[in-house]
Structure 1
Amino acid sequence: MSESADTILEVDKLITSFETEQGLLRAVDQVSFSVQRGKTLGIVGESGCGKSVTAMSIIRLLPQPAGKILGGHVHFKGTDLVRASDAEMRKIRGGDIGVIFQEPMTALNPLHRIGRQVSEVFRLHQKLSKKDAWDAATEMLKLVRIPAPEQRMMDFPHQLSGGMRQRIVIALALACRPSLVIADEPTTALDVTVQAQILDLMAKLQEEMGMSTILITHDLGVIAETCDEVVVMYAGRVVERASAIELFANPLHAYTKGLLSSIPTLDTPSKSILNTIPGTVASLGDYSHGCRFCQRMGRTAPVSRERPKFTEVSTGHWVETCPECYQP
């Protein structure tokens, strides 16, 4: 993969492992993708496929001392984040790269008021005075459409609804107007109406600020609505990558087809049994060296024991070309 002027983030053959009782196990296995300026990249897959570990590897927030990046590069605006110092990463995290975590109640400190937590970002990264940081934080709450922001600044996290807390987490991520935002399942814990509001808010703020976004989710409906390009992950690997339009119109990997076929449509008969993918994602210690979707499906053909090549089968459309799972 080669970095272009329009590319803000380039992940190249990233390998992340965890030290366990079974030894060093790979959770992310040579993952590659890029994010274009001002665009949204969606990473989709079932739980346990390595989506969040990939995101935490990019910003070097892996659990320590177990998590280790063993190989690959993460180029962000000319800096290889894998090899950046801890001091450099502290400047980049929360500054030029914002993170929206999955569960706002765990992302926010329950012991501190909202105002203190949001203003702290401005004090750390922009070196503002206490008063200026407080004023900037209040303006940030207005930007994410929080009513009565002056009052909310004095609240504790438990005093806010789930949707309001998620808006606070978005405010924290966007406080320094980052070039890139990583959103790790930002709407999972929200009801449908609040989810729609949050996605609409993120889209508007992205357009206003011109930032790029990595959106991690298991919801293909969210992917179709918000993303320009999609990465499909399975068992720590990327099995398919294409533009959102191309992926939904012409999925080529059996796993991608399985995910798409599990979504109910307007033509689905009432009370019908939905399609499912048989089996489950293997645990880290049981990963096959060969095609891991073949492993799930119980295929034992010799071709399924070798790692499939990741091939560009048409312009911008990449897929693992396992003879069993590649279905053009």
Structure 2
Amino acid sequence: MSDQYVLEVDRLITSFETERGLLRAVDQVSFKIPYGKTVGIVGESGCGKSVTAMSIVGLLPHPSGKVLGGEIHFKGEDLLHAPAKRMRQVRGGEIGVIFQEPMAALNPVHRIGRQVSEVFRIHKKMSKKDAWDASTEMLQLLKIPAPEKRMMDYPHHLSGGMRQRIVIALALACRPDLVIADEPTTALDVTVQAQILDLLGNLQSDMGMSLMLITHDLGVIAETCDEVVVMYGGRVVESAPVEELFADPLHAYTRALLRSIPTLDTVPKSVLQTIPGTVAGLGEYTHGCRFCQRMGRVTAISRERPKFKEVQPGHWLEICKECSNL
């Protein structure tokens, strides 16, 4: 283990028990998050991003979700073999999670103040009054207007952007070393999305925390991340520093994602480029190149799994003859 990284995921395998047997949703995924840096995990829906995150913090659906192999080390500690009591200390205390849908993350029958202060009472062992005061300060830190009043509100009283700020408050309450943000700007309008991202960036600088940002928006990746991991079909197909990946994408899937983003050079009212086909279901994955499977390249599908290699310093790539731009 290296002192340089707050989180090291190595060959992680996560499966789900179904009527068709164990199906792999995450297939030997590896990446590292340095201290104080932001690493983006990008890919379409169904590529395994959220399952990877839930595997890290031990929140897979029980009993169907299972981690079958690999290693997850947080600050040098093996999380896969940590006792349940220790994982409850890590979740919320040392690793904060910003969930994708704030209305699902917040309890609709409890006031905001009770939900935020509960984090301080559980992890910091504060008294009820001290936890309430700390919660009010946290809402103020997140630039929530009239925090004392918001503490008495229920989730349905707040707008989508405000609810998302409350979820961020829950994740950051104990000033964790790592925050996993699972599409924190989903369903928010562009203005509120920019505010949330700026807020996260400022808080990261103030607290010195690391950030794992899960998204399908490469524009968000370009603006906020230091490194990017591109996932497809439950695998990492490419990872590199952000500037290098945008300047020289080497995998066909990465290039396809970049082409689908409108730019200032895009002709007005022109049809945006899309990626043909869809991500295969868990039971339909080939052992060979899964992007070739999507593109209908039968000869490439039948081959063995492409090797994942470092092709340039810090730039890793799944080596497929059809998909790799080498």
Q: Normalization by structure 2: what TM-score?
A: 0.99
Equivalents in 1 of 2:189, 2:274: separation in Å?
23
Residue of 191, 194, 198 corresponding to 1:193: 191
> Offset at 1:305?
2.1
Alignment match, 1:65: 63
User: Is 2:39–2:226's contact at 8 Å kept on the other side of the alignment?
Assistant: yes
User: Is 1:303–1:323's contact at 8 Å kept on the other side of the alignment?
Assistant: no
How many residues align? The count is 326
> Offset at 1:6?
1.4
AA partner of residue 251 (structure 2): H
Aligned-residue identity in percent: 76
Equivalents in 2 of 1:245, 1:291: separation in Å?
26
Q: Does 1:95 align with 2:93?
A: yes
Alignment match, 2:229: 231
Alignment match, 2:294: 296
Matched ranges for 1:57-136 at <5 A: 57-136=55-134
Alignment match, 1:263: 261
> Offset at 1:301?
1.6
User: Is 1:96–1:180's contact at 8 Å kept on the other side of the alignment?
Assistant: yes
User: Is 2:310–2:316's contact at 8 Å kept on the other side of the alignment?
Assistant: yes
Equivalents in 2 of 1:220, 1:83: separation in Å?
34
AA partner of residue 185 (structure 2): T
Equivalents in 2 of 1:251, 1:199: separation in Å?
25
Seen in structure 2, the aligned counterparts of structure 1 residues 247 and 5 have a Cα distance that, compared at 3 Å, is same
Residue of 6, 9, 16 corresponding to 2:7: 9
User: Is 1:310–1:318's contact at 8 Å kept on the other side of the alignment?
Assistant: yes
Residue of 246, 252, 276 corresponding to 2:250: 252
Equivalents in 2 of 1:261, 1:155: separation in Å?
44
Residue of 26, 29, 33 corresponding to 1:28: 26
Equivalents in 2 of 1:259, 1:302: separation in Å?
21
Q: Does 1:306 align with 2:304?
A: yes
Equivalents in 2 of 1:120, 1:75: separation in Å?
27
Q: Deviations over 1:149-184 (max 9, x none)?
A: 000000000000111100000000000000000000
Equivalents in 1 of 2:24, 2:105: separation in Å?
26
Residue of 270, 273, 281 corresponding to 1:272: 270
Equivalents in 1 of 2:235, 2:301: separation in Å?
18
> Offset at 1:4?
2.1
AA partner of residue 116 (structure 1): R
AA partner of residue 211 (structure 2): T
**What's the secondary structure of 1:301's corresponding residue?**
helix
AA partner of residue 120 (structure 1): E
> Offset at 1:189?
1.3
> Offset at 1:304?
5.2
Q: Which moved more, 1:201-210 or 1:70-79?
A: 70-79
User: Is 1:185–1:215's contact at 8 Å kept on the other side of the alignment?
Assistant: yes
**What's the secondary structure of 2:270's corresponding residue?**
coil
Equivalents in 1 of 2:236, 2:158: separation in Å?
38
> Offset at 1:78?
2.0
Alignment match, 2:206: 208
Equivalents in 1 of 2:138, 2:47: separation in Å?
34
Q: Normalization by structure 1: what TM-score?
A: 0.98
Equivalents in 1 of 2:225, 2:24: separation in Å?
28
User: Is 2:24–2:282's contact at 8 Å kept on the other side of the alignment?
Assistant: yes
Q: Which moved more, 1:265-274 or 1:29-38?
A: 265-274
User: Is 1:288–1:305's contact at 8 Å kept on the other side of the alignment?
Assistant: no
Equivalents in 1 of 2:106, 2:199: separation in Å?
20
User: Is 1:304–1:324's contact at 8 Å kept on the other side of the alignment?
Assistant: no
RMSD: 0.8
Structure 2: unaligned runs, 5 residues or longer = none
Q: Deviations over 1:55-93 (max 9, x none)?
A: 000001000110000000100012111111110100000
**What's the secondary structure of 1:255's corresponding residue?**
helix
User: Is 1:119–1:136's contact at 8 Å kept on the other side of the alignment?
Assistant: yes
**What's the secondary structure of 1:64's corresponding residue?**
coil
**What's the secondary structure of 1:136's corresponding residue?**
helix
Alignment match, 2:16: 18
Equivalents in 2 of 1:56, 1:202: separation in Å?
20
Alignment match, 1:142: 140
User: Is 2:181–2:214's contact at 8 Å kept on the other side of the alignment?
Assistant: yes
User: Is 1:235–1:292's contact at 8 Å kept on the other side of the alignment?
Assistant: yes
